[in-house]
Structure 1
């Protein structure tokens, strides 16, 4: 997985120990309107595995007026589904994709076509031929345990038992997942078509979409070469044709079609007499970017080892014009030759065989490798279910159906939300470059902090030149260059004792971060907080609107800052916000992702105006015991604790620079967030830097920031909590005011009982131990939850990990599995550092 990395707002106090589907265009009387709401007209474009699964899921939920349009012949219309090898490996760094795949296994395992199952549970076997890969398989086994997938790392001898054709001497071990297997995609389409049709859906092949009609910002119909189809909702499940459909609707679809090589061998004597299509596990030889599956007495081999082969979706031929089918391009033997040699090296049975046939099959990649799901901001009623592979098809379709019918999916899908990309990440050039890179990295060992390599730099703060002068080590998130530490602070690290790290946890880390954390605790540091998303909400109805949308009470005088939550109707946390009331009718909101703006815009009444001001502004966090000594001489305003209290905001000047100063702290120390316009950002940095010299000011990076915020227990949305979690489960009940009146999600919270899980603080027992996140947590020897955020707490001298676990008493002993080793940890009271808040409120 690769999820979009974004800086999240964190809870600003120390924690204590889609709207319903819109109706059809207004009919002439009330009964017709009610009927339209009860039975909306849905048109799905594309009858591949995603479109067929979606029709089945929608009709199962009572939306039976569903029309599926397909340009090719059914049931194999020539898209990616028609040639898909059907691999379903459930384990993924993304919990969401793992849940999608698990549902695919569950659903297709219960489907039959012509008396045969639509899923063959042959298992999966991922091989390691290098020590680096073997360590990665142990990490994958940990992910499997975290997400509830059966799997184990096995020795080479067991790999040989599972796959007798292997040269055991080449293998160091493997990761065996017995519940993985092969999805028979076209039969699964047929089975779901039959079910959906029995409930009222219709599937029309040989219908080429030529246009999308819209009116007043809503979709109204799909136009084909054989007529128009009125619609209240349109779902593009067109696969690599998604950008073509999107252009008709005026909707950006950031995906890149790429060709992927697949070959079949001649019959192998070692497989002679095979009656079943496949009996052995699907084989992944990821060290050479290959996978292998059986086709009775032949082997099928897929390769990601070749050069990226992008395909222009606007030039893909129609079904009747394609030599084989639109998604199948001619095989290029020269590209496959190195892969064939690698297969023969691993599988001696191929020594006397040859490739009998092959093709270059087209399928979709996005800039971050995740699907594109959800309703378009640009056109209401127009949905995407794109860039979904067979592995995740049933789960993704279920999520979209729940989204459409119930207003939200049961699974957290923020990593797949089509609005997750920033504008700078949606250009055709960016999509092409990043999509091709996702193809190259499909089987790479990718570190969770590993940044994109190109195109960089893309977005930089006004302080970028100064940061480079200080030797900033930049990682990337949301297109932003983000300093994680500064080489200029290396001399400070000489006196800091930090446990030596293993090779994996030492990547994208430096002991300089420990020095920066200590300097923040002991002196003062400047943090670049520019990538934090900033929204301006204004207008006569702004306060009433925000009161309705959020959980905390914002009816405070101008100058107040409030930490609050955005919930959905089920009480799940959509986001956490910091809201500053700048005037009676104007607020500045610190948000998380583009989805927050979309959510607010969709609910905003006409007298409320919302705009993103991030790109035109910048922010420096000034934090540490000497923060007041640094800032006060630069302004005539009173920055004392009495004159400028915690969670207050002021407009003032620092030297020559007008700033909006908010007294907040995400590192647990005295200080302010200082905002100004982007053109004055460099002057602000230089002003603070010069004033801070006598106080030993440093620039500090995200690595130190993450350590400090975890010591205080500040949550990061999208990492520590999502819309799958309620405020009370996440330890954020202090941000909910049930006495303020109605707000979105209130009724669900009133119905909620005692939490059956909690976001729990853990301290690793061994001062030298480190975990990174997503590891399984064992209670009494059984997997009971998983780590969300983790970082070494330099002040505490222990690694801090937050994990979702059943309610456990303080002091309970648990174990965190890290690369195959069980690391002891203990449940701790939070916040772990400065529970009296004395350092912030000084």
Structure 2
């Protein structure tokens, strides 16, 4: 990277070119310049201050509550910042609050769940009665409303004003904004960006940030970077003046109103009502076919992001609007347009620096709602090397290669549009573009009646209907509520019990596998991770991938198969990306996941199943815990790792994909005499929580340190320097810890992200939870204040109800590890 420039005795930072002067580009210029990077040029193809992208027509709704803590914090910062900004005496934010309505029992229940999320993330909110909804929005027909969710801190961003205010601030610090500059190319040399080419000149750059909104794929192609983003048109209309609003002087005084049961939202425009609809068919837009500003104006369009209003799509929504707001029955739509917004396959932004070319950054698929928060995170990332909050859900590397085809991005992006206001269960999979990725065992899993959910494009069995007869042997299980009963079956309990008592086969193929080889492999991995990897071949080590601040970027299982050959069990494409960024020339890293497969063989009879199939010694003495061995199972060559993520004796058996089906069949036939079962992810999750095994991305992220997360055992502070070591040395005693909870009521269940209260005050939130069938209680892990003694009483808020739980010691099952080390 080019060294910071010093001008007039002050550091101005590297040369940054931001493409796009919408709300994200302007916010980013402000955030960069306030951190001392003032050599910032923002290029915009349209006219300023209203360039014609999504910012120019955005309705400005800013609502904080989301199942994603990251999005909630982005929105909270956006509100905080915009409230502090004004232009010509006009505030950039109207804090009128938000009101979500329930017109069905299902929606009302979901509003209670959303209120729990709000409490968990520190957002002020309340569930309100029908009468209170009517007070907040007098135009409502209260007969159709069952209740509401009120968030007084939410409101309306004046997006163009906020962009202008930040533009002015950044300009005073040295940034420049150039409109009517169309980017035509991005120059690269030696794997780095060097300049941005426009129709009005070339701009040298050390960093280039694409904040181009729905033009992101166009800019990405110029840099050779795939941008999995699908623009879609969204209907927005304004009514004629309403007599009920006559005399209004403020732009808005009532909360932003969301009628999610009919995919509608409402906001005031002084004496008119603005209405947005997600109820219509998806209207995809080709980003490469969007006209320039001048071309759009020549077509009698207000701006490139504004498409003609399609009245036929609007008609059903208009009837629903009039049903909810009877005053609309006496008026008509005065204006309307189809405005273009960006959607990704999972609905989250695309943030971060590309590995190739270095210096090319994305700040894409960002709505006004999260704009300032995203800009803050990206600016921290660029200047400090890491954002202050976890952004793994937004990382541009998060999608698998199989999820990046244009047809996949288009189909899943459209589905995200359809589901914007749907009540979505946390386990609910997408219905389309499936199956996409399947393990070699898929045909056998289908024969066994596998119930599949999806992750990373993989079909993942959660239980098997073939095991249904085993449910009769369990005794009575607690009855579940409607929400926790979705994507669950009592068969999971039978599979968990079979794992504890006999032996089960688990498909672990979706677990990411990296092959790291070369003369420098050991030194590289030892430097990149927290534990001691300088062990003899055959050793397996659990270790952590940390960032420079000591945050947990991932947890890895590293098997040393030979002196310069390692197999790394990782979590996401970001792990591969991080390792590749830092690998020296004498290290080769290859993702071998798709060409290989894995069966987990676990249970007290695992050795009885496997030993007769191999000539190698699988005794405890001959094949110890956390050891690796290359061997054969029947005719199949395998790499066997003696690991257990379920707390039982057993092995992970890896082979090539072409031999996978033979491996499964060999194990299945040999296991019949032992009562082997195939078991799914539902039982797996229950068993791993009973043992206190963490799941990265759910239980801990880059916001958390190993000592807070209870993973200090995976850190060797006495070894020669590793990434994050210096930061860990400077840490104070943790004030928060990942804490196990055991629910008091045997019938109670929580699922994750619920707030936890001590003495009535919210003090943390649940990360992951599952019913512990061995214990007869639900197990939950939560981030709570450090120092809570075992037995402390807490309450978990679940759909508005207080569920009693107590702080427990971990692991809850087999603390002596006798079941694994037998």
Scaled to the shorter chain, the TM-score interval is: over 0.9
Counterpart residue number, 2:55: 81
- 1:11 corresponds to: none
8 Å Cα contact 2:128-2:150 kept in structure 1: yes
Q: Pick the aligned partner of 2:520 from 535, 541, 551.
A: 541
Q: Is the 8 A contact 2:515 2:566 kept in 1?
A: yes
Greater Cα offset, 120-129 or 348-357: 348-357
Deviation at 1:281, TM superposition (A): 0.2
Deviations 1:695-714 (A, max 9, x none): 00000000000000000000
Maintained 8 Å contact 2:519/2:564: yes
Match of 1:179? 153
The equivalent position to 1:281 in structure 2, one of 255, 258, 262, is 255
Contact 2:530 2:546 in 1 (8 A): yes
Residues 1:711 and 2:652 are matched in the alignment: no
Indicate whether 1:241 and 2:215 are aligned.
yes
| Runs of 4 or more above 2 Å deviation | 22-25, 35-38
Given candidates 307, 310, 328, the residue that maps to 1:329 is 307
Counting only pairs closer than 5 Å after superposition, residues 30-179 of structure 1 correspond to structure 2 as 39-179=13-153
Structure 1 equivalent of residue 750 of structure 2? 771
| Distance in 2 (alpha carbons) for counterparts of 1:508 and 1:32 | 59
Aligned to 1:227: 201
Structure 1 residue 494, shift from structure 2 partner? 1.2
Are residue 615 (structure 1) and residue 594 (structure 2) matched?
yes
Deviations along 1:123-159, one digit per CA (max 9) or x if unpaired, are 0000000000000000000000000000010010000
- Does structure 1 retain, via aligned residues, the 8 Å contact 2:230–2:410? yes
User: In the alignment, does 2:473 pair up with 1:495?
Assistant: yes
Kept in 2: contact 1:528–1:621 (CA 8 A): yes
Q: 2:373 aligns with which of 389, 395, 402?
A: 395
| 2:814 corresponds to | 834
Alpha-carbon distance in structure 2 between the residues aligned to 1:635 and 1:623: 17
Offset at residue 378 of structure 1 (A): 2.4
Paired position in structure 2 for 1:452 = 430
User: Aligned with 2:527: secondary structure?
Assistant: helix
Separation in structure 2 between the aligned mates of residue 739 and residue 407 of structure 1, nearest angstrom:
25
Say what the alpha-carbon RMSD is for the aligned residues.
Answer: 1.3
Contact 2:522 / 2:534 at 8 angstroms: preserved in 1?
Answer: yes
The answer to whether structure 1 residue 206 and structure 2 residue 180 are counterparts is yes
Q: Distance in 2 between matches of 1:688 and 1:724?
A: 41
Deviation at 1:23, TM superposition (A): 2.7
Distance in 2 separating the partners of 1:501 and 1:599 = 42
Task: Provide the C-alpha distance between the structure 1 equivalents of 2:612 and 2:243, rounded to a whole number of angstroms.
Answer: 85
Q: What residue ranges of structure 2 are gaps of 5+ in the alignment?
A: none
Q: Secondary structure at the match of 2:555?
A: strand
1:260 equivalent among 230, 234, 237: 234
1:716 match: secondary structure: coil
- 1:298 maps to 272
Please say if residues 12 and 39 of structure 2, whose CA atoms lie closer than 8 Å, have aligned partners that are also in contact.
no
Equivalent residue for 2:364, pick from 386, 396, 404: 386
Is the CA contact (8 Å cut-off) linking 1:509 and 1:703 kept in structure 2? yes
Deviations 1:625-683 (A, max 9, x none): 00000000000000000000000000000110000000000000000000000000000
The 5 Å alignment of 1:791-810 reads 791-807=770-786, 808-810=788-790
What is the Cα deviation at residue 377 of structure 1? 2.0
In the alignment, the residues of structure 1 paired with residue 808 and residue 144 of structure 2 have an alpha-carbon distance, to the nearest angstrom, of 45
Would you say the 8 A contact 1:470–1:488 is kept in 2? yes
Q: CA deviation at 1:24?
A: 5.8
Q: Does 1:639 align with 2:618?
A: yes
Match of 1:669 in 2: 648
The aligned residue for residue 382 of structure 2 is 404
Aligned residues of 2:11 and 2:36 also touching (Cα < 8 A): no
Match of residue 795, structure 2, among 815, 818, 842: 815
Alignment equivalent of 1:364, drawn from 320, 330, 342: 342
How many Å separate the matches in 2 of 1:569 and 1:169? 56
Q: Identify which of 397, 421, 430 aligns with 2:408.
A: 430
Distance change in 2, residues 1:632/1:37 (3 Å): farther
1:7 paired residue number: none
Please state how far the C-alpha of 1:38 moved relative to its aligned partner.
6.5
| C-alpha contact (below 8 Å) 1:68/1:204 kept by paired residues | yes
- Are residues 1:574 and 2:524 paired? no
* From 653, 656, 669, the counterpart of 2:635: 656
CA distance in 2 between counterparts of 1:648 and 1:788 reads 30
SS at match of 1:534: strand
CA distance in 1, matches of 2:303, 2:259: 28
- CA distance in 2 between counterparts of 1:412 and 1:136 reads 26
Q: Does residue 733 of structure 1 match 2:707? A: no
CA distance in 1 between counterparts of 2:582 and 2:313 reads 52
The answer to whether the Cα contact below 8 Å between 1:567 and 1:573 also exists between their aligned partners in 2 is: yes
Q: Which residue of 1 aligns with 2:741?
A: 762
Query: For the residues of structure 1 that align with 2:553 and 2:231, how far apart are their CA atoms?
Result: 31
Q: TM-score, normalised by structure 1?
A: 0.96
Change in 2 beyond 3 A, CA 1:646/1:538: same
Q: 1:24 touches 1:36 (CA, 8 Å); kept in 2?
A: no
Structure 2 CA distance for partners of 1:486 and 1:590, relative to 1, 3 Å: same
In structure 2, C-alpha distance between the alignment counterparts of 1:357 and 1:23, rounded to whole Å: 50
1:346 to 310, 324, 348: 324
Aligned: 1:597 with 2:571: no
Q: Do the aligned residues in 2 keep the contact of 1:370 with 1:416 (CA within 8 Å)?
A: yes
Contact 1:23 1:37 in 2 (8 A): no
Report deviation, 1:36: 13
